[in-house]
Amino acid sequence: MKPILDFQFMVSIVPEILKVVPITLNITIVAMLFALVIGLITALVRIYKVPVARQIAMLYLSFTRGTPLLVQIYLSYYGIPKLLDYTHAYYGWNIDVNGIPAIVFIYFAFSLNVGAYLSETIRAAIQAIDKGQMEAALSIGMTTWQALRRIVFPQALAVALPSFGNTVISLIKDTSLAFMISVVEMMGEAKILGARGLQFFEVYIVVALIYWMICILVERMIAILEKRVKHFEGGKI
Amino acid sequence: MLRLQNIHKSFHRTPVLKGISITVQRGEVVAILGPSGSGKSTLLRCINFLERPNQGLIQLGDLVIDAEKVTKDEMIMIRRSTAMVFQNYHLFKNKTALENVMEGLLIVKKLEKAEAYQKSIQFLEKVGLAGRMDFYPSQLSGGQQQRVGIARALAMEPKVILFDEPTSALDPELVGEVLEVMKSLAGEGRTMIVVTHEMNFAREVASHVIFMDEGLIIEEGTAREVFEQTRMDRTKRFLQRIVK
């Protein structure tokens, strides 16, 4: 009888999957950075009730949270080239839409998706900071932006960091959807390897373990970061 | 030097200030007394536009602001010539005592780091807290936090310092250290407006006492006039309840 798992095969594919880990991390980092900017802007627009921009932000948040990420990826993949083709024809530009690498559409879809979730986290974190902090900053003559940047944001970051951590962990796992538009990240590589000898179970076990390891490492890093960011809360003396 | 003229302020159509006019001379210490809800804190907060008056004129030095047409720049200008000490201190929680004092010098006054550092230490020494300069607010007692708050205000070299019930949130045994600092400032001839429930402080230190109720000034004068030759019944009742 054949053993339930082909361990030799499993060990042999580890390096091949590790080879594409940078792509998974690349999507995670790029999406997270853009998402932070999008989340911060939409959060501020909502907190300060900026007319028009606020309505647009609400629509974006509602749509993004109300549709599956996979659908958003497809919309980005099929929609953006169409839109570009159309505008090119309209303005008479000539850019090769087919030359855009698929990962760009992944960046786009993931940034907007994660941005919507971060928006809520950031808004709650900023509103959790005592209004007196802003007032004290204004009272010595700082501008609202200076007060936000120097006083409110650093404190809000300490509040939001655990949530940010959860978002990063989710994002890492969600990048497994990128293969749906043929970006070969960990999951994509696994499917290719699995198809080679029809050993899907082994491949997915290996991939699961690697995702798990990455998430544990990231959790550790966030815990360290949290300590640093919260240094000012200090102990009573 | 500071003149408020006919200040009106409502919150959701509820009038809180119903036409307040005050003149404060350079070097004066003005104490504003009154029951809670009388509008005294709101009045103080209208001076630096933490609340925006619905109507009225605010004049500080050469700066004259019509509250109805105030611009962002005007608000910043008046905030840069005033400073406020808050009831709950409101020290910047993410900054040490030293950084709290330095912040305005660096960001608002744009001083060089070394100069801001030197100045900040001087002001912390003035309130007796140079030894605690590297402590975060969470590591300081209420009285110490409030003294840092005063140092932060002083560092801005304001024309007038606004005190919003600076001792109300403090444990009784910590009130003294803050009042001591305030007395010494008054002694230096600084212009101060103090909303307070500390009658002894008002009596001993204030050169001018204002009694407010229901959004209006009921009575004002020197401490002696208001406390010992009280004219209005409303003031008498208030003082009887507070001063034993």
ipTM, two decimals? 0.93
HSE value, Cβ hemisphere, 13 Å, CA-based, for A155: 21
**B90/A136 CB distance under 8 A:** yes
Q: Kindly report, residue by residue over B60-117, the tens digit of the pLDDT.
A: 999 999 999 999 999 999 999 999 999 999 999 999 999 999 999 999 999 999 999 9
Residue B32 phi, psi (nearest 5):
-110, 120
Q: Does B76 touch chain A (CB under 8 A)?
A: yes
Interface subset of B 118-147, CB within 8 angstroms of A: 135-136, 138-139
What is the DSSP-derived secondary structure letter of residue B159?
S
Task: Point out the least confidently predicted range of A43-52, A58-67, A84-93, B136-145.
Answer: A84-93
What is the DSSP-derived secondary structure letter of residue A149?
I
pLDDT of residue A174: 95
A-B C-beta contacts closer than 8 Å? 79
Residue B193 forms beta bridges with which residues?
B30, B162
Contacts of A137 in chain B (CB under 8 A): 92, 103
Q: Kindly report, residue by residue over B128-149, the tens digit of the pLDDT.
A: 999 999 999 999 999 999 999 9
AA identity, residue A130: D
Q: Does A151 touch chain B (CB under 8 A)?
A: yes
pLDDT of residue A236: 43
| Whether the predicted pLDDT of B243 surpasses 80 | no
Q: What is the mean pLDDT of residues A205-221?
A: 96
Q: How many helices (DSSP H) and strands (DSSP E) are in chain A?
A: 10, 0
**First-to-final CA distance of chain A:** 68
Residue whose C-alpha is closest to residue B97's, from B118, B124, B122: B124
Q: Do residues A195 and A13 make contact, with C-beta atoms less than 8 angstroms apart?
A: no
pLDDT of residue A89: 78
Contacts of B144 in chain A (CB under 8 A): none
- pLDDT-derived band at B244, boundaries 50, 70, 90: low
| Whether the predicted pLDDT of A234 surpasses 70 | no
B106: closest chain A residue by CA: A142
Q: What is the mean pLDDT of residues B222-226?
A: 91
Q: Do residues B230 and B33 make contact, with C-beta atoms less than 8 angstroms apart?
A: no
HSE value, Cβ hemisphere, 13 Å, CA-based, for A120: 12
**B152/A135 CB distance under 8 A:** no
**Alpha-carbon distance A133 to nearest alpha carbon in chain B (angstroms):** 6
Task: Point out the least confidently predicted range of A28-32, B86-90, B118-122, B238-242.
Answer: B238-242
| Whether the predicted pLDDT of A237 surpasses 80 | no
AA identity, residue A162: P
**A136/B84 CB distance under 8 A:** yes
Residue B28 in tokens: 């004066």
What is the DSSP-derived secondary structure letter of residue B138?
G
Q: What is the mean pLDDT of residues A25-54?
A: 96
Domains of chain A: 7-235 (1.10.3720.10)
pLDDT of residue A86: 83
**Alpha-carbon distance A132 to nearest alpha carbon in chain B (angstroms):** 6
Share of chain B above pLDDT 90, in %: 89
Q: What is the mean pLDDT of residues B224-229?
A: 90
Contacts of B91 in chain A (CB under 8 A): 136
pLDDT top residue among B90 and A6: B90
Q: Kindly report, residue by residue over A84-142, the tens digit of the pLDDT.
A: 888 877 877 777 777 889 999 999 999 999 999 999 999 999 999 999 999 999 999 99
Q: What is the mean pLDDT of residues B206-221?
A: 94
Q: Do residues B93 and B144 make contact, with C-beta atoms less than 8 angstroms apart?
A: no
